Amino acid sequence: EVQLVESGGGLVQPGGSLRLSCAASGFSFSSYGMNWVRQAPGKGLEWLSYISSSSTTVYFADSVKGRLTISRDNAKNSLYLQMNSLRDEDTAVYYCARRIAVAPYYFDFWGQGTLVTVSS
Amino acid sequence: SYVLTQPPSVSVAPGQTAGITCGASYIGTKSVHWYQQKPGQAPVLVVYDDSDRPSGIPERFSGSNSGNTATLTITRVEAGDEADYYCQVWDTSSDHPVLFGGGTKLTVL
């Protein structure tokens, strides 16, 4: 069974940093590109970042470029999101999502999300 | 920039058919995917590649895509279908490849 479990969320002050993790199981993690998607309270889905299976390709949304770093450790079946210079508007539930291996690309499995609250 | 436009809300009576649109210029040339999200839950894929259904998704869910509009159609709507629905495309020619529509709240009257 495919499972994605996010962790690392919590309360952080504006300007602070946080590192989110996503633990994958039930599939060959090293064969899939992975993504981070967030959802602010009462708002829609916002894609943040993608990393290819071998980490050779990464993409970021313009809204977060320069403040977020995506990485993965295939030996540990884990995906990470390093978030710096956090702002109030970064308050959201953060999901990791698996991208299918062959185009057309979509997200076939999602984690349950981890809540990040940016507040003083 | 490319924007996917969804109506904020759609209401339908139980047993009727609901149509949720996703509009964008020439969206018919792209593959569109649809997700259902219930309160407090992660999104779930309900239609991919315009009109295909993942295993476990009822046949009541279908999709189409032509011209400037993609549509998710839910027939024989049930109370359990009440949720937010999002369309999504992946633009392989862009370094910002993923777009989501703004979401549509489906209310079952």
Residues B68-109 pLDDT 10s: 999 999 999 999 999 999 999 998 888 889 999 999 999 999
Listed residue (A80, A51, A82, A54) closest to A66, CA to CA: A82
Question: In chain B, pLDDT over 70 holds for what percent of residues?
Answer: 100
Which region, left, alpha or beta, applies to residue A95 given φ > 0 means left and ψ of -120 to 50 means alpha?
beta
Measured CA to CA, the distance from residue B22 to residue B5 in angstroms comes to: 5
pLDDT surpassing 90 at residue A65: no
Interface touch B96/A111, C-beta < 8 Å: no
Question: In chain B, pLDDT over 90 holds for what percent of residues?
Answer: 92
Mean pLDDT (chain A) is: 96
Model pLDDT, residue B93 = 83
> Going by C-beta distance under 8 Å and a sequence separation of 6 or more, which residues neighbour residue B37?
A45, B43, B44, B83, B84, B85, B86, B103
**Average pLDDT value for residue range A44-60:** 96
Model pLDDT, residue B96 = 84
Establish if A27 touches chain B: CB-CB under 8 angstroms.
no
Model pLDDT, residue B74 = 98
Residue of B nearest to A64 (CA): B96
Measured CA to CA, the distance from residue B97 to residue A59 in angstroms comes to: 8
Secondary element (H or E) of residue B8: none
Secondary element (H or E) of residue A109: strand A107-110
Question: Quick one: how far is CA B24 from the chain centroid?
Answer: 13
**CB distance A84 to A17 below 8 Å:** yes
Model pLDDT, residue B91 = 85
Please name the member of B48, B96, B101 whose beta carbon is closest to the beta carbon of A106: B48
Q: Nearest-5° angle of CA B24, CA A59, CA B32?
A: 30
**Average pLDDT value for residue range A109-120:** 97
Phi/psi at A88 (nearest 5 deg)? -55, -40
Measured CA to CA, the distance from residue B15 to residue B74 in angstroms comes to: 10
Model pLDDT, residue A103 = 87
Please name the member of B31, B44, B96 whose beta carbon is closest to the beta carbon of A59: B96
